Amino acid sequence: MLRKIILIVLLVLLGSAGTLVYQFQQALKAPLAIENDSFLKIKPGSSISSFAKQLEQLQWIPTRFWLRNYGRLFPQKANIKAGTYLIRKNLTLAQLLIQLVEGKEHQFSVTFIEGTRFKDALTILAEHPYIEQSINKKTVLVIAEKIGINVENPEGWLFPDTYSFTAGTQDITLLKRAYTNMQAQLNKVWESRADNLPYKTPYQALIMASIIEKETSYIAEQPVISSVFVNRLRKRMRLQTDPTVIYGLGDRYQGDITRAHLREKTPYNTYRINGLPPTPIAMPGLSALKATLNPANSDYFYFVSGGNGKHIFSRTLPEHNLAVKNYLKKQRQNRTN
């Protein structure tokens, strides 16, 4: 009789255990109750119990009972890591646990665009909700010192690229990465530069690359434009490039360059100064760096917009004046049509 009772008790216990395991499995296989992809932040020091409570409060699971006790039974499978995670809709609780235990945080990103300025990069960083702000009230000079840029104006020293990061990354960290990237790219291209260029240092090449970047968005033209500037520098002609004038005007530039602007002697007005301006005027991309240090072989000294995103190149001033005349004529026709 006793054996029969013990057998019945064992069967009941096994049945209960089996039911419990089945219920655990069903709870873990159930999709989270979210309609759209959502971000989930796990604070440092969070336990599986507090995490279960968090999900219950978010109404992503009906009850925390199964998750909390699953963590007690299988602590090695519930060692969740702090961070910000992107949770896809239809994700199951089991899949979520794997993601958090493996620490697969979401990778956010920011993109610095070719031809934009240092201040534009600061704005992008300041507006990102998942970047920790540490320099938003600092001067450009202080920011440059924190990055490690030992010049008064850090313009041009950030490499335009897309930078991935996890939530809570500091803005200064991303700036340092962009600066390190630019140093590496510039040095690499400098080592493979053509012979007899009119640039004594990589920094001078960086300045010229920023001008080329601003002169054209048509990459195939960049080596030709580079050759024009090389030819002018060799002849000790002024560069006479509008983007430097615009940079020198700063906030005073309102969309048009006037005769007064061209006559004004600023450090960046290459119609009035000889050689290069004192600093870059934008972030040059890799193609502009390559074009600067490996220009095309040409005898061009002038270029003007062709009105189609490309340029007309000329060898002599009369040729150039004719190209300018044709361009202005085309502009007038477009305005009247």
3-state helix, strand, coil in the chain (%, to 5): 50, 10, 40
* pLDDT at site 22: 66
* pLDDT at site 211: 98
pTM for the full predicted model: 0.87
Asked whether residue 122 falls in the same domain as residue 142, the answer is yes
Domain containing 290: what range?
193-336
* pLDDT at site 20: 62
Asked whether residue 26 falls in the same domain as residue 95, the answer is yes
Asked whether residue 210 falls in the same domain as residue 317, the answer is yes
Q: What are phi and psi of 287, to 5 degrees?
A: -65, -35
Asked whether residue 113 falls in the same domain as residue 43, the answer is no
State whether residue 31 is helix, strand or coil.
Answer: strand
Q: Are 310 and 220 in contact (CB under 8 A)?
A: no
* pLDDT at site 74: 82
Digitized pLDDT (tens) for each residue of the chain, 337 residues in all: 555 555 444 444 444 445 566 676 777 888 999 999 999 999 999 999 999 999 999 999 999 888 888 888 888 888 999 999 999 998 999 899 999 999 999 999 999 999 999 999 999 999 999 999 999 889 999 999 999 998 889 999 999 999 999 999 999 999 999 999 999 999 999 999 999 999 999 999 999 999 999 999 899 999 999 999 999 999 999 999 999 999 999 888 888 888 889 899 899 999 999 999 999 999 999 999 999 999 999 999 999 988 777 899 999 999 999 988 888 887 777 667 6
Asked whether residue 201 falls in the same domain as residue 140, the answer is no
> Which residues fall within 8 angstroms of residue 19, CB to CB, at 6 or more apart?
none
| Residue at a domain's end among 157, 184, 211 | 184
Asked whether residue 10 falls in the same domain as residue 119, the answer is no
Asked whether residue 254 falls in the same domain as residue 208, the answer is yes
Asked whether residue 198 falls in the same domain as residue 323, the answer is yes
Number of domain units in the chain: 3
* pLDDT at site 144: 95
* Cβ neighbour number for residue 55 with a 10 Å cutoff: 19
| Residue at a domain's end among 161, 184, 207 | 184
Q: Are 87 and 38 in contact (CB under 8 A)?
A: yes
Asked whether residue 255 falls in the same domain as residue 332, the answer is yes
Asked whether residue 236 falls in the same domain as residue 331, the answer is yes
* pLDDT at site 309: 79
| Residue at a domain's end among 42, 69, 102 | 102
Asked whether residue 19 falls in the same domain as residue 131, the answer is no
